[in-house]
Structure 1
Amino acid sequence: MAAERRTSASPTLDRPATAGPEPPTAGYDPGFLAVPVGTPSLDPSIKDTAVRLDGSEVLPYTHFSLALSKPRRFAIWVAWNIDGGALKKLSRAGLDFVTDPRVPAEDQVDNDLYKGGSANRLDRGHIARRADLCWGPLPEAQRANKDSFFYTNITPQMDDFNQSRRNGLWGRLEDAVFEDVDVDDLKVSVFGGPVFQEDDRVFRGVQIPRAFWKIIAFMDQGTCKAKAFLLAQNLVLPESLDLDEFRVFQVKVTEIQKEAHISFPAAMTDADTLVVPQSLGERQPLESQADIDWG
Protein backbone atom coordinates (compact mmCIF):
# COMPACT_ATOMS: atom_id res chain seq x y z
CA MET A 1 0.00 0.00 0.00
CA ALA A 2 2.84 2.37 0.82
CA ALA A 3 3.30 5.20 -1.64
CA GLU A 4 6.74 5.96 -3.01
CA ARG A 5 8.65 7.96 -0.43
CA ARG A 6 10.63 11.14 -1.02
CA THR A 7 14.12 11.05 0.45
CA SER A 8 14.92 14.70 1.08
CA ALA A 9 16.86 15.13 4.33
CA SER A 10 14.93 18.28 5.27
CA PRO A 11 11.37 17.89 3.94
CA THR A 12 9.44 21.07 3.37
CA LEU A 13 5.67 20.93 3.42
CA ASP A 14 4.05 22.53 0.40
CA ARG A 15 0.37 23.34 0.71
CA PRO A 16 -1.49 21.19 -1.83
CA ALA A 17 -4.57 22.58 -3.50
CA THR A 18 -7.76 21.44 -1.77
CA ALA A 19 -11.44 22.21 -1.95
CA GLY A 20 -11.93 21.73 1.79
CA PRO A 21 -11.29 24.26 4.56
CA GLU A 22 -7.91 24.29 6.25
CA PRO A 23 -7.70 23.49 9.97
CA PRO A 24 -7.44 26.44 12.36
CA THR A 25 -4.08 27.45 13.79
CA ALA A 26 -4.80 27.93 17.50
CA GLY A 27 -2.99 24.78 18.55
CA TYR A 28 -1.64 23.67 21.89
CA ASP A 29 -1.26 26.51 24.41
CA PRO A 30 2.07 26.33 26.32
CA GLY A 31 0.78 28.95 28.77
CA PHE A 32 -2.35 26.98 29.67
CA LEU A 33 -1.08 26.14 33.18
CA ALA A 34 0.28 28.55 35.81
CA VAL A 35 3.77 27.25 34.94
CA PRO A 36 4.51 27.44 31.19
CA VAL A 37 4.94 23.98 29.62
CA GLY A 38 6.21 24.04 26.05
CA THR A 39 6.08 21.34 23.42
CA PRO A 40 8.92 18.82 23.14
CA SER A 41 11.80 19.27 20.74
CA LEU A 42 12.97 16.50 18.44
CA ASP A 43 16.34 14.86 18.98
CA PRO A 44 18.93 15.51 16.24
CA SER A 45 18.56 11.87 15.15
CA ILE A 46 14.97 12.47 13.96
CA LYS A 47 14.68 16.23 13.58
CA ASP A 48 15.13 16.16 9.81
CA THR A 49 12.42 13.49 9.45
CA ALA A 50 9.58 15.79 10.56
CA VAL A 51 7.12 17.15 8.03
CA ARG A 52 7.25 20.95 8.06
CA LEU A 53 4.53 23.54 7.69
CA ASP A 54 5.75 27.05 6.84
CA GLY A 55 9.18 26.01 8.10
CA SER A 56 7.92 24.67 11.44
CA GLU A 57 7.80 21.05 12.58
CA VAL A 58 4.67 21.85 14.67
CA LEU A 59 1.24 21.40 13.04
CA PRO A 60 -1.51 23.27 14.96
CA TYR A 61 -5.17 22.27 15.31
CA THR A 62 -7.95 23.33 17.70
CA HIS A 63 -6.69 22.73 21.26
CA PHE A 64 -3.85 20.48 20.10
CA SER A 65 -0.64 20.46 18.08
CA LEU A 66 1.62 17.70 16.80
CA ALA A 67 4.82 16.81 15.00
CA LEU A 68 4.47 14.34 12.12
CA SER A 69 7.08 11.75 11.12
CA LYS A 70 7.67 11.65 7.38
CA PRO A 71 9.10 8.09 7.23
CA ARG A 72 6.54 6.59 9.65
CA ARG A 73 3.58 8.83 8.64
CA PHE A 74 2.24 8.94 12.20
CA ALA A 75 2.58 11.69 14.80
CA ILE A 76 5.86 11.71 16.74
CA TRP A 77 4.10 13.55 19.53
CA VAL A 78 0.74 15.19 20.12
CA ALA A 79 0.22 17.91 22.76
CA TRP A 80 -3.23 18.98 23.94
CA ASN A 81 -4.90 21.09 26.60
CA ILE A 82 -7.98 20.07 28.59
CA ASP A 83 -10.18 22.58 30.38
CA GLY A 84 -12.15 20.27 32.64
CA GLY A 85 -14.50 23.04 33.71
CA ALA A 86 -15.54 23.91 30.14
CA LEU A 87 -15.93 20.46 28.54
CA LYS A 88 -18.84 19.93 26.17
CA LYS A 89 -20.41 16.54 25.53
CA LEU A 90 -20.61 16.42 21.75
CA SER A 91 -21.62 13.63 19.40
CA ARG A 92 -19.29 12.22 16.79
CA ALA A 93 -22.21 11.56 14.44
CA GLY A 94 -21.52 12.68 10.90
CA LEU A 95 -17.77 13.14 11.45
CA ASP A 96 -15.42 11.17 9.22
CA PHE A 97 -11.72 10.48 9.47
CA VAL A 98 -9.95 12.67 6.92
CA THR A 99 -6.44 13.53 5.80
CA ASP A 100 -5.07 16.96 6.60
CA PRO A 101 -5.19 19.02 3.38
CA ARG A 102 -2.07 20.94 4.47
CA VAL A 103 0.00 17.75 4.49
CA PRO A 104 0.99 15.82 1.35
CA ALA A 105 -1.11 12.66 1.12
CA GLU A 106 1.97 10.43 0.96
CA ASP A 107 3.01 11.68 4.40
CA GLN A 108 -0.16 10.41 6.10
CA VAL A 109 -1.49 6.92 6.79
CA ASP A 110 -5.08 7.03 5.58
CA ASN A 111 -8.06 4.68 5.43
CA ASP A 112 -6.28 2.18 3.16
CA LEU A 113 -4.68 0.69 6.29
CA TYR A 114 -8.06 0.00 7.88
CA LYS A 115 -10.07 -1.37 4.94
CA GLY A 116 -11.21 -4.96 4.83
CA GLY A 117 -14.15 -5.23 7.19
CA SER A 118 -14.00 -7.90 9.89
CA ALA A 119 -10.94 -9.47 8.22
CA ASN A 120 -8.90 -6.42 9.25
CA ARG A 121 -8.69 -6.12 13.03
CA LEU A 122 -7.02 -2.72 13.09
CA ASP A 123 -9.08 0.22 14.35
CA ARG A 124 -8.35 3.94 14.09
CA GLY A 125 -7.33 5.20 17.52
CA HIS A 126 -7.12 8.84 18.58
CA ILE A 127 -3.89 9.96 20.25
CA ALA A 128 -5.48 13.14 21.64
CA ARG A 129 -8.83 11.89 22.86
CA ARG A 130 -11.81 13.42 21.12
CA ALA A 131 -13.60 14.05 24.42
CA ASP A 132 -10.54 15.86 25.84
CA LEU A 133 -10.61 18.44 23.07
CA CYS A 134 -14.29 19.41 23.14
CA TRP A 135 -14.26 22.42 25.46
CA GLY A 136 -14.71 26.17 25.30
CA PRO A 137 -17.45 28.11 23.45
CA LEU A 138 -19.65 25.76 21.45
CA PRO A 139 -18.32 26.69 17.97
CA GLU A 140 -14.76 26.20 19.23
CA ALA A 141 -15.61 22.87 20.87
CA GLN A 142 -17.34 21.72 17.67
CA ARG A 143 -14.28 22.59 15.61
CA ALA A 144 -12.04 20.71 18.03
CA ASN A 145 -14.38 17.72 17.80
CA LYS A 146 -13.99 17.75 14.02
CA ASP A 147 -10.24 18.35 14.11
CA SER A 148 -9.71 15.29 16.28
CA PHE A 149 -10.57 13.11 13.27
CA PHE A 150 -7.61 14.17 11.14
CA TYR A 151 -5.48 11.10 10.37
CA THR A 152 -2.46 12.96 11.71
CA ASN A 153 -3.99 12.38 15.20
CA ILE A 154 -4.68 8.69 14.55
CA THR A 155 -2.65 5.51 15.12
CA PRO A 156 -3.78 1.90 14.58
CA GLN A 157 -5.06 -0.14 17.51
CA MET A 158 -6.36 -3.68 17.72
CA ASP A 159 -10.15 -4.00 17.57
CA ASP A 160 -10.26 -5.42 21.11
CA PHE A 161 -7.90 -2.71 22.42
CA ASN A 162 -10.71 -0.77 24.09
CA GLN A 163 -12.22 -3.88 25.68
CA SER A 164 -9.10 -4.72 27.66
CA ARG A 165 -9.20 -4.11 31.39
CA ARG A 166 -5.71 -2.62 31.39
CA ASN A 167 -6.32 -0.47 28.38
CA GLY A 168 -9.45 0.71 30.14
CA LEU A 169 -7.03 2.24 32.64
CA TRP A 170 -4.98 3.73 29.80
CA GLY A 171 -8.05 5.42 28.35
CA ARG A 172 -9.07 6.80 31.74
CA LEU A 173 -5.77 8.41 32.74
CA GLU A 174 -6.97 11.95 32.01
CA ASP A 175 -10.23 11.30 33.85
CA ALA A 176 -8.32 9.73 36.75
CA VAL A 177 -6.24 12.83 37.45
CA PHE A 178 -9.42 14.89 37.82
CA GLU A 179 -10.95 12.24 40.08
CA ASP A 180 -7.91 11.64 42.30
CA VAL A 181 -6.22 15.05 42.46
CA ASP A 182 -7.43 18.52 43.41
CA VAL A 183 -6.26 19.91 40.08
CA ASP A 184 -5.89 23.69 40.12
CA ASP A 185 -8.46 25.38 37.84
CA LEU A 186 -9.44 21.93 36.46
CA LYS A 187 -6.83 22.35 33.74
CA VAL A 188 -4.28 19.81 32.51
CA SER A 189 -1.91 19.59 29.56
CA VAL A 190 -1.29 16.19 28.01
CA PHE A 191 1.35 14.81 25.67
CA GLY A 192 1.22 11.47 23.90
CA GLY A 193 2.39 9.46 20.95
CA PRO A 194 3.69 6.14 19.67
CA VAL A 195 7.10 4.62 20.27
CA PHE A 196 8.73 3.92 16.92
CA GLN A 197 10.90 0.80 16.95
CA GLU A 198 12.99 -0.56 14.11
CA ASP A 199 11.46 -4.02 14.45
CA ASP A 200 7.82 -2.85 14.36
CA ARG A 201 6.02 -5.29 12.11
CA VAL A 202 4.78 -4.21 8.68
CA PHE A 203 1.15 -4.50 7.58
CA ARG A 204 0.02 -3.19 4.19
CA GLY A 205 3.31 -1.37 3.83
CA VAL A 206 2.97 0.41 7.20
CA GLN A 207 5.04 -0.24 10.31
CA ILE A 208 2.57 -0.63 13.18
CA PRO A 209 3.63 0.89 16.53
CA ARG A 210 3.26 -1.55 19.42
CA ALA A 211 3.99 0.86 22.29
CA PHE A 212 2.56 4.24 23.26
CA TRP A 213 3.33 6.91 25.85
CA LYS A 214 1.45 9.65 27.63
CA ILE A 215 2.45 12.45 30.02
CA ILE A 216 -0.04 14.47 32.07
CA ALA A 217 1.02 17.87 33.45
CA PHE A 218 -1.07 19.75 36.00
CA MET A 219 -0.94 22.14 38.91
CA ASP A 220 -1.64 20.72 42.38
CA GLN A 221 -1.92 23.37 45.11
CA GLY A 222 0.37 25.68 43.15
CA THR A 223 2.96 23.01 42.34
CA CYS A 224 3.50 21.78 38.80
CA LYS A 225 3.50 17.99 38.50
CA ALA A 226 4.14 15.73 35.52
CA LYS A 227 3.23 12.03 35.45
CA ALA A 228 4.37 9.72 32.65
CA PHE A 229 2.97 6.39 31.47
CA LEU A 230 3.98 3.76 28.93
CA LEU A 231 1.67 1.27 27.24
CA ALA A 232 3.57 -1.66 25.75
CA GLN A 233 1.67 -3.98 23.43
CA ASN A 234 2.79 -6.88 21.31
CA LEU A 235 1.26 -7.15 17.86
CA VAL A 236 1.88 -10.23 15.73
CA LEU A 237 1.77 -9.14 12.09
CA PRO A 238 1.04 -9.79 9.29
CA GLU A 239 0.28 -13.50 9.69
CA SER A 240 -2.46 -12.72 12.20
CA LEU A 241 -3.59 -9.55 13.86
CA ASP A 242 -3.57 -10.79 17.43
CA LEU A 243 -2.97 -8.79 20.55
CA ASP A 244 -0.66 -10.94 22.65
CA GLU A 245 -0.39 -8.72 25.71
CA PHE A 246 0.03 -5.11 26.66
CA ARG A 247 0.82 -3.55 30.00
CA VAL A 248 0.59 -0.04 31.42
CA PHE A 249 3.57 1.20 33.42
CA GLN A 250 4.14 4.44 35.28
CA VAL A 251 7.57 5.70 34.22
CA LYS A 252 9.80 8.76 34.35
CA VAL A 253 9.52 11.64 31.89
CA THR A 254 13.20 11.07 31.10
CA GLU A 255 12.39 7.49 30.07
CA ILE A 256 9.76 8.73 27.64
CA GLN A 257 12.29 11.18 26.21
CA LYS A 258 14.67 8.31 25.51
CA GLU A 259 12.02 6.03 24.00
CA ALA A 260 10.44 8.73 21.80
CA HIS A 261 13.68 10.57 20.86
CA ILE A 262 12.36 13.89 22.11
CA SER A 263 13.26 16.40 24.82
CA PHE A 264 10.83 18.22 27.08
CA PRO A 265 11.39 21.64 28.66
CA ALA A 266 12.94 21.67 32.12
CA ALA A 267 9.52 22.50 33.61
CA MET A 268 8.39 18.98 32.71
CA THR A 269 11.40 17.05 33.93
CA ASP A 270 11.58 19.14 37.11
CA ALA A 271 7.90 18.42 37.79
CA ASP A 272 8.42 14.65 37.69
CA THR A 273 9.22 13.36 41.19
CA LEU A 274 8.45 9.68 40.62
CA VAL A 275 10.94 7.24 42.12
CA VAL A 276 11.10 3.93 40.25
CA PRO A 277 13.44 0.94 39.97
CA GLN A 278 16.20 1.47 37.45
CA SER A 279 15.02 -1.34 35.17
CA LEU A 280 11.56 -1.35 33.60
CA GLY A 281 11.62 -5.13 33.89
CA GLU A 282 11.69 -4.83 37.68
CA ARG A 283 8.43 -2.90 37.86
CA GLN A 284 4.89 -4.11 38.16
CA PRO A 285 2.34 -2.93 35.61
CA LEU A 286 -0.54 -0.80 36.81
CA GLU A 287 -3.55 -2.96 37.55
CA SER A 288 -6.00 -0.26 38.59
CA GLN A 289 -6.38 3.47 39.03
CA ALA A 290 -5.41 3.09 42.69
CA ASP A 291 -1.88 2.06 41.62
CA ILE A 292 -1.14 5.47 40.07
CA ASP A 293 1.23 7.72 41.98
CA TRP A 294 -0.05 11.29 41.56
CA GLY A 295 2.10 12.66 44.40
Structure 2
Amino acid sequence: MTSDGYASDFLDIDLPLPAPDPARAISELAYPRFSVLLDTDRRLAAVTAVNIDGAQLQDLRRSGEWRLDPRVPEREQTGPAVYAGNDLDRGHLVRRRDPGWGSMNDARAAMEATFFYTNAAPQAAGFNQSKELWLGLEDHVLAYAETTDQRLSVFTAPVLDRDDPPYRGIRVPLRFWKIAAWRTDSGLAATGFVLDQTDLVDTSGGRFATPPLGAFRTFQVPIADIAELAELDLGLLPTADVLDRPEVRASGWRALSSREDVIV
Protein backbone atom coordinates (compact mmCIF):
# COMPACT_ATOMS: atom_id res chain seq x y z
CA MET A 1 0.00 0.00 0.00
CA THR A 2 1.31 3.46 -0.86
CA SER A 3 1.86 6.08 1.81
CA ASP A 4 -0.49 8.54 0.16
CA GLY A 5 -1.13 10.60 3.28
CA TYR A 6 -4.08 12.75 4.29
CA ALA A 7 -6.47 13.61 1.43
CA SER A 8 -7.76 17.18 1.63
CA ASP A 9 -10.79 16.40 -0.59
CA PHE A 10 -11.94 13.37 1.42
CA LEU A 11 -15.13 15.13 2.56
CA ASP A 12 -15.78 16.57 -0.93
CA ILE A 13 -14.80 19.94 0.53
CA ASP A 14 -11.27 21.29 0.18
CA LEU A 15 -9.89 20.98 3.71
CA PRO A 16 -6.10 21.41 3.66
CA LEU A 17 -3.76 20.38 6.42
CA PRO A 18 -3.59 22.89 9.28
CA ALA A 19 -0.61 25.14 8.67
CA PRO A 20 2.04 25.97 11.29
CA ASP A 21 3.96 29.22 11.07
CA PRO A 22 6.37 28.98 8.10
CA ALA A 23 9.23 29.91 10.43
CA ARG A 24 8.89 26.61 12.32
CA ALA A 25 11.05 23.63 11.37
CA ILE A 26 8.41 21.23 10.03
CA SER A 27 8.82 17.94 8.20
CA GLU A 28 5.72 16.62 6.39
CA LEU A 29 5.44 12.83 6.50
CA ALA A 30 2.85 10.82 4.55
CA TYR A 31 1.53 7.46 5.78
CA PRO A 32 -1.41 5.33 4.58
CA ARG A 33 -4.47 7.62 4.92
CA PHE A 34 -2.81 9.99 7.36
CA SER A 35 -0.09 12.62 7.54
CA VAL A 36 2.15 13.99 10.28
CA LEU A 37 3.64 17.46 10.38
CA LEU A 38 6.64 16.86 12.63
CA ASP A 39 8.13 19.78 14.54
CA THR A 40 11.75 18.72 14.31
CA ASP A 41 12.88 21.14 17.03
CA ARG A 42 10.36 19.79 19.54
CA ARG A 43 10.67 16.23 18.14
CA LEU A 44 6.88 15.86 18.30
CA ALA A 45 4.00 16.30 15.88
CA ALA A 46 2.64 19.80 15.42
CA VAL A 47 -0.29 18.32 13.45
CA THR A 48 -1.61 14.88 12.54
CA ALA A 49 -4.45 14.44 10.06
CA VAL A 50 -6.33 11.25 9.20
CA ASN A 51 -9.21 10.32 6.92
CA ILE A 52 -11.72 7.87 8.42
CA ASP A 53 -14.36 6.00 6.42
CA GLY A 54 -16.70 4.62 9.06
CA ALA A 55 -18.58 2.49 6.55
CA GLN A 56 -15.41 0.54 5.69
CA LEU A 57 -13.68 0.25 9.08
CA GLN A 58 -12.21 -3.19 9.74
CA ASP A 59 -12.28 -4.85 13.17
CA LEU A 60 -8.61 -5.74 13.43
CA ARG A 61 -6.56 -7.19 16.25
CA ARG A 62 -3.87 -4.89 17.52
CA SER A 63 -0.67 -5.42 15.56
CA GLY A 64 2.43 -3.36 15.01
CA GLU A 65 5.50 -2.41 17.02
CA TRP A 66 6.74 1.05 17.83
CA ARG A 67 9.63 2.08 15.60
CA LEU A 68 11.50 5.13 14.40
CA ASP A 69 10.72 6.52 10.97
CA PRO A 70 13.85 6.03 8.82
CA ARG A 71 12.98 9.11 6.75
CA VAL A 72 13.72 11.35 9.72
CA PRO A 73 17.00 11.65 11.67
CA GLU A 74 16.71 9.94 15.05
CA ARG A 75 17.62 13.17 16.82
CA GLU A 76 14.43 14.74 15.44
CA GLN A 77 12.10 12.06 16.87
CA THR A 78 10.98 11.31 20.41
CA GLY A 79 12.07 7.69 20.53
CA PRO A 80 12.10 4.79 23.00
CA ALA A 81 14.60 6.34 25.45
CA VAL A 82 12.03 8.94 26.54
CA TYR A 83 9.49 6.27 27.50
CA ALA A 84 11.82 3.80 29.24
CA GLY A 85 11.53 3.09 32.96
CA ASN A 86 8.80 5.59 33.81
CA ASP A 87 5.04 6.12 33.83
CA LEU A 88 4.83 7.69 30.38
CA ASP A 89 2.70 6.07 27.68
CA ARG A 90 3.42 6.34 23.99
CA GLY A 91 0.12 7.97 23.21
CA HIS A 92 -1.14 7.44 19.67
CA LEU A 93 -2.09 10.73 18.00
CA VAL A 94 -3.72 9.12 14.98
CA ARG A 95 -5.47 6.22 16.69
CA ARG A 96 -4.45 2.82 15.40
CA ARG A 97 -7.96 1.92 14.18
CA ASP A 98 -8.74 5.20 12.41
CA PRO A 99 -6.95 4.58 9.08
CA GLY A 100 -7.78 0.85 9.27
CA TRP A 101 -10.48 0.73 6.60
CA GLY A 102 -10.92 -0.69 3.11
CA SER A 103 -9.54 -4.09 2.20
CA MET A 104 -8.16 -6.20 5.02
CA ASN A 105 -4.58 -5.90 3.77
CA ASP A 106 -4.80 -2.13 3.29
CA ALA A 107 -6.44 -1.67 6.66
CA ARG A 108 -3.76 -3.69 8.45
CA ALA A 109 -0.92 -1.82 6.72
CA ALA A 110 -2.48 1.51 7.68
CA MET A 111 -3.01 0.44 11.29
CA GLU A 112 0.59 -0.74 11.63
CA ALA A 113 1.85 2.58 10.24
CA THR A 114 0.37 4.35 13.27
CA PHE A 115 3.15 2.79 15.37
CA PHE A 116 5.87 5.12 14.13
CA TYR A 117 7.24 7.30 16.94
CA THR A 118 6.44 10.36 14.83
CA ASN A 119 2.78 9.56 15.59
CA ALA A 120 3.31 9.32 19.36
CA ALA A 121 3.45 11.82 22.19
CA PRO A 122 4.16 11.22 25.89
CA GLN A 123 1.06 10.89 28.04
CA ALA A 124 0.81 10.04 31.71
CA ALA A 125 0.14 6.33 32.15
CA GLY A 126 -3.03 4.89 33.58
CA PHE A 127 -6.61 5.39 32.56
CA ASN A 128 -9.36 7.27 34.28
CA GLN A 129 -12.81 8.28 33.14
CA SER A 130 -11.65 11.44 31.42
CA LYS A 131 -8.86 9.77 29.44
CA GLU A 132 -11.22 7.01 28.34
CA LEU A 133 -13.59 9.76 27.24
CA TRP A 134 -10.81 11.38 25.20
CA LEU A 135 -10.06 8.12 23.42
CA GLY A 136 -13.73 7.62 22.60
CA LEU A 137 -14.51 11.09 21.24
CA GLU A 138 -13.91 10.12 17.61
CA ASP A 139 -16.23 7.11 17.99
CA HIS A 140 -18.91 9.40 19.37
CA VAL A 141 -18.61 11.93 16.54
CA LEU A 142 -18.36 9.13 13.96
CA ALA A 143 -21.61 7.64 15.24
CA TYR A 144 -23.23 11.02 14.73
CA ALA A 145 -21.71 11.36 11.27
CA GLU A 146 -23.20 8.02 10.25
CA THR A 147 -26.46 9.89 9.62
CA THR A 148 -24.64 11.59 6.71
CA ASP A 149 -21.81 9.97 4.73
CA GLN A 150 -19.98 8.16 7.56
CA ARG A 151 -16.73 9.98 6.88
CA LEU A 152 -14.53 12.08 9.15
CA SER A 153 -11.29 13.96 8.90
CA VAL A 154 -9.63 14.21 12.30
CA PHE A 155 -6.73 16.43 13.34
CA THR A 156 -4.82 15.77 16.60
CA ALA A 157 -1.57 16.91 18.20
CA PRO A 158 -0.01 18.07 21.43
CA VAL A 159 -0.01 21.77 22.23
CA LEU A 160 3.71 22.51 21.91
CA ASP A 161 3.93 25.25 24.50
CA ARG A 162 7.22 26.98 25.23
CA ASP A 163 6.69 26.40 28.97
CA ASP A 164 6.22 22.62 28.78
CA PRO A 165 8.45 20.91 31.39
CA PRO A 166 11.80 19.50 30.22
CA TYR A 167 12.50 15.78 30.45
CA ARG A 168 15.20 13.62 28.82
CA GLY A 169 15.98 16.08 26.07
CA ILE A 170 12.37 16.93 25.15
CA ARG A 171 9.57 18.96 26.66
CA VAL A 172 6.55 16.95 27.82
CA PRO A 173 3.34 18.51 26.43
CA LEU A 174 0.73 19.27 29.05
CA ARG A 175 -2.22 19.62 26.69
CA PHE A 176 -3.47 17.93 23.54
CA TRP A 177 -6.01 19.10 20.99
CA LYS A 178 -8.33 17.28 18.62
CA ILE A 179 -10.67 18.51 15.88
CA ALA A 180 -13.17 16.27 14.06
CA ALA A 181 -14.73 17.47 10.80
CA TRP A 182 -17.52 15.93 8.74
CA ARG A 183 -19.88 16.78 5.88
CA THR A 184 -23.54 17.64 6.47
CA ASP A 185 -26.35 18.57 4.08
CA SER A 186 -25.56 22.21 4.75
CA GLY A 187 -21.77 21.91 4.37
CA LEU A 188 -18.78 21.39 6.65
CA ALA A 189 -19.22 20.84 10.39
CA ALA A 190 -16.45 20.52 12.98
CA THR A 191 -15.90 20.35 16.70
CA GLY A 192 -12.81 20.74 18.87
CA PHE A 193 -11.52 19.27 22.12
CA VAL A 194 -8.61 19.75 24.52
CA LEU A 195 -7.15 17.17 26.93
CA ASP A 196 -5.23 18.62 29.87
CA GLN A 197 -2.75 16.40 31.74
CA THR A 198 -1.08 19.21 33.70
CA ASP A 199 -2.06 17.69 37.05
CA LEU A 200 -0.42 14.39 36.07
CA VAL A 201 3.01 15.60 34.98
CA ASP A 202 5.91 16.40 37.28
CA THR A 203 9.43 16.42 35.84
CA SER A 204 11.12 18.30 38.66
CA GLY A 205 14.46 16.86 39.70
CA GLY A 206 15.06 15.49 36.20
CA ARG A 207 12.67 12.57 36.56
CA PHE A 208 9.06 11.86 35.67
CA ALA A 209 6.58 11.38 38.48
CA THR A 210 2.81 11.10 38.64
CA PRO A 211 1.23 13.27 41.35
CA PRO A 212 -1.11 11.13 43.49
CA LEU A 213 -4.21 13.28 43.10
CA GLY A 214 -3.88 14.29 39.46
CA ALA A 215 -6.47 13.72 36.77
CA PHE A 216 -6.97 14.13 33.06
CA ARG A 217 -9.44 16.85 32.14
CA THR A 218 -11.30 16.90 28.83
CA PHE A 219 -13.02 19.94 27.34
CA GLN A 220 -15.03 20.77 24.25
CA VAL A 221 -13.67 24.13 23.16
CA PRO A 222 -14.08 26.72 20.40
CA ILE A 223 -11.90 25.75 17.46
CA ALA A 224 -10.68 29.34 17.27
CA ASP A 225 -9.13 28.80 20.72
CA ILE A 226 -7.25 25.74 19.42
CA ALA A 227 -5.87 27.80 16.54
CA GLU A 228 -4.51 30.29 19.06
CA LEU A 229 -3.19 27.68 21.51
CA ALA A 230 -1.43 25.60 18.87
CA GLU A 231 -0.38 28.58 16.73
CA LEU A 232 -1.92 27.10 13.59
CA ASP A 233 -3.88 28.32 10.59
CA LEU A 234 -6.93 26.04 10.70
CA GLY A 235 -8.51 27.30 7.49
CA LEU A 236 -12.27 26.64 7.32
CA LEU A 237 -12.46 24.75 10.60
CA PRO A 238 -13.20 27.66 13.00
CA THR A 239 -16.09 28.88 10.84
CA ALA A 240 -17.53 25.33 10.71
CA ASP A 241 -17.51 24.98 14.53
CA VAL A 242 -20.76 23.49 15.86
CA LEU A 243 -20.38 25.66 18.97
CA ASP A 244 -20.95 28.70 16.76
CA ARG A 245 -24.47 27.67 15.77
CA PRO A 246 -27.14 30.06 17.15
CA GLU A 247 -29.23 27.21 18.55
CA VAL A 248 -26.31 25.86 20.61
CA ARG A 249 -25.68 29.00 22.62
CA ALA A 250 -22.54 27.50 24.14
CA SER A 251 -19.60 29.66 25.01
CA GLY A 252 -16.14 29.11 26.39
CA TRP A 253 -14.65 25.78 27.38
CA ARG A 254 -17.13 23.04 28.33
CA ALA A 255 -15.79 20.44 30.76
CA LEU A 256 -16.88 16.94 29.69
CA SER A 257 -17.65 14.06 32.03
CA SER A 258 -19.24 11.71 29.47
CA ARG A 259 -19.76 11.40 25.73
CA GLU A 260 -23.33 12.55 26.20
CA ASP A 261 -21.98 16.00 27.16
CA VAL A 262 -20.56 16.51 23.66
CA ILE A 263 -22.38 18.92 21.34
CA VAL A 264 -22.38 17.82 17.69
Pairwise same-fold verdict (TM > 0.5) = yes
Work out the CA distance in 2 between the residues paired with 1:183 and 1:40: 26
- Structure 1 position 182, deviation (Å): 4.2
- What residue ranges of structure 1 are gaps of 5+ in the alignment? 1-22, 52-57
3-state secondary structure, aligned to 1:189:
strand
1:50 and 2:12 correspond: no
Work out the CA distance in 2 between the residues paired with 1:104 and 1:182: 40
Name the counterpart of 2:4: 26
3-state secondary structure, aligned to 1:167:
helix
Provide runs of 4+ in structure 1 moved above 4 Å. none
- What residue ranges of structure 2 are gaps of 5+ in the alignment? 245-249
Name the counterpart of 2:65: 96
Name the counterpart of 1:14: none
Report 1:94-243 matches (<5 A): 95-116=64-85, 120-160=86-126, 163-234=127-198, 235-239=201-205, 240-242=208-210
- Structure 1 position 291, deviation (Å): 1.1
Work out the CA distance in 1 between the residues paired with 2:143 and 2:55: 13
Name the counterpart of 1:259: 229
Q: Please say if residues 93 and 157 of structure 2, whose CA atoms lie closer than 8 Å, have aligned partners that are also in contact.
A: yes
- Percent identity at matched positions? 36
Name the counterpart of 2:14: 36
* Greater mean alpha carbon deviation, residues 170-179 or residues 187-196: 170-179
Q: Please say if residues 48 and 93 of structure 2, whose CA atoms lie closer than 8 Å, have aligned partners that are also in contact.
A: yes
Work out the CA distance in 2 between the residues paired with 1:82 and 1:134: 8
Name the counterpart of 2:247: none
- Structure 1 position 181, deviation (Å): 4.6
Question: What do you get for the CA RMSD once the two structures are aligned?
Answer: 1.7
TM-score between both structures, scaled by the size of structure 1:
0.81
TM-score between both structures, scaled by the size of structure 2:
0.90
Aligned length: 253
From the CA coordinates, give the structure whose radius of gyration is larger: 1
